[in-house]
Amino acid sequence: MFVLAAASRPRSWYIGVRLINMDNNKIVIPSGAQFIIEELAKHGHVAYVVGGCVRDSVLGRNPADWDITTDALPEEVKAIFPVTIDTGIEHGTVTVRIKHVSYEVTTYRIDGDYEDGRHPKDVTFTRSLEEDLKRRDFTINAMAYNDTDGLVDLFGGLEDLKAGVVRAVGNPTERFSEDALRMLRALRFSAQLGFEIEKETFAAIRTLAPTLAKVSAERIQVEVLKLICSDHPERMEQVAMSGLSAVFFPEWDAMLSCKQATVHHCYDVGHHTIVVMQGVPATKTLRLAALLHDVAKPLSKKTDKKGLDHFVGHPSLGAEMAKEIMRRWKLDNATIDEVCRLVRYHDERPELTPRNARRLVHRIGVDYMENLLVLQHADVLGQSDFQREEKLERIELLRSLYHQMLEEEACLQIRDLKVNGQDAMAMGIPKGPQIGEVLEYLLQQVIEEPARNEREYLMGVLEQWKNSEANR
């Protein structure tokens, strides 16, 4: 399977492009990566840092990781370094550990079809750096660098970086036909970097968007999360315009075309959602909750005789839809659980007595309350000016009630109760689901009246519970 293609050009062919927009035309490479490049050179090989780290260095961004590309075969890499891990050996990737830091070292390769996997189905190793750079998705991701050769930029990546353009390497239609995920990656990079997508590249996306359906949910999830957690979540609008969201998130298209004729709103559901995403910190749960909080509005919209829109029940229907969508994207259960709670309670506006505030904290869960307040605040800022001050004051009051509960170490969850499962069992309540049930019952009593969180009182309630169960 691993055919070694002949080097297509002498190494010097691409040397000497030293346009790099940095001090002394140099990228400062971490010592571990530098060491790997030098060790490989000592053994007669060539190696470069490549891809995202070169792009980010030129932009003055902090690279997430430093990938190395080399003409050495995996076995050759493994023979040189004492600590290596076969990360993706069949795709040419060996992880080299230098002083407890991991670097992925990948042999120059030509990719076969990507099919459904994270990696191409089969790869061909090559001794040509050019071939390796050619298989990469975008010009800005297809540059390599080492101190000896400087920046190797065969496809105008530096120019595109300067102009702020995401452009496919080579023919975009061909490149997106090889791997449809690249279309969503184009949108993701445009959102992370604030770049525009080059015209032909975007046109190819619009044509081939339906083929994203071939790509696995796991791969789509990675790109969607990076996109919505970027500095430009508003690029979700282009995701719809490109036709891509129709494949993995048709609910989004419906949100963008759902008008809201109400004094509370000045945007359609989709654009309101974008403003809310921009208004919350870029964490996975908050951005997902912002993205999905009004997902059920198109389905729950009812227009009254005066032409005003109402969206009764959209938070609870939204929580159900959010769950289905996040399962579709194969998100983890903890994330799904928290986001669904935030969606369900985002519009909760009880009369703000301390008791009602306690009830809300209990229902959403004490650990999720801070995020709920953040989401509610951003939600208001994404609405019209109507009653804005009052709406924000309300949230601040809820926040202060909540913080007061924390300061007073109020009992808000089962583990804060002055009795526990052992006590319930000692009372003769059998081990099993009943223990959880009775403790939840006690908690509800305490939420209603905090003074009830006394051992003697709660033991009395346990006794009553046991007796009433016995008489059932």
Calculate ∠ Cα 238-253-386, nearest 5°.
90
Q: Quote the radius of gyration of the chain (alpha carbons, Å).
A: 28
**Stretch binding ligand ATP (CB under 6 A), from 135-143, 268-276, 373-381, 437-445:** 135-143
Residue 195 exposed, middle or buried by CB count within 10 Å (0-12, 13-18, 19+): buried
Least Å distance, CB 390 to ligand ATP, is: 42
198 binds ligand ATP (CB under 6 A): no
Q: Is 170 in the site for ligand ATP (CB under 6 A)?
A: no
What, of Mg ion, ligand ATP, none, does residue 312 touch, CB below 5 to 8 Å by kind? none
Candidates 8-16, 175-183, 274-282, 361-369 — which segment interacts with ligand ATP by CB under 6 A?
Answer: 175-183
The item of ligand ATP, Mg ion, none sharing an interface with residue 1, based on CB under 5 to 8 Å by kind, is none
**Parallel/antiparallel/unpaired status of strands 93-98 and 101-107:** antiparallel
In whole angstroms, what is the distance from residue 365 CA to residue 413 CA?
A: 8
Binding to ligand ATP (CB under 6 A) within 59-78 occurs at 64, 67
Count of residues that bind ligand ATP according to CB under 6 A: 11
- Alpha helices (H) in 249-331, listed in sequence order: 250-256, 269-279, 284-292, 297-300, 314-328
| Contact partner at residue 338 from ligand ATP, Mg ion, none, CB < 5 to 8 Å by partner kind | none
Element (H, E) at 360: helix 354-364
358 is a contact residue toward ligand ATP (CB under 6 A):
no
Torsion angle of C-alpha atoms 103, 108, 113, 114, degrees rounded to 10: 10
CA distance 272 to 265: 8
Q: Smallest distance, Å, CB 327 to ligand ATP?
A: 24
Instruction: Confirm or reject binding of residue 51 to ligand ATP (CB under 6 A).
Output: yes
CB of 104 to Mg ion, least distance (A): 9
User: Which structure tokens are listed for 109?
Assistant: 């390769």
Packed helices 369-381 and 333-345: angle between N→C axes, nearest 10 degrees: 50
Exactly one of 141, 201, 273, 376 binds ligand ATP (CB under 6 A); which one? 141
Min dist CB 179 to ligand ATP, Å, is 5
Give 6 or 64: the residue with its C-beta nearer to ligand ATP.
64
Positions in the binding site for ligand ATP (CB under 6 A): 51-52, 64, 67, 136-137, 141-142, 179, 181-182
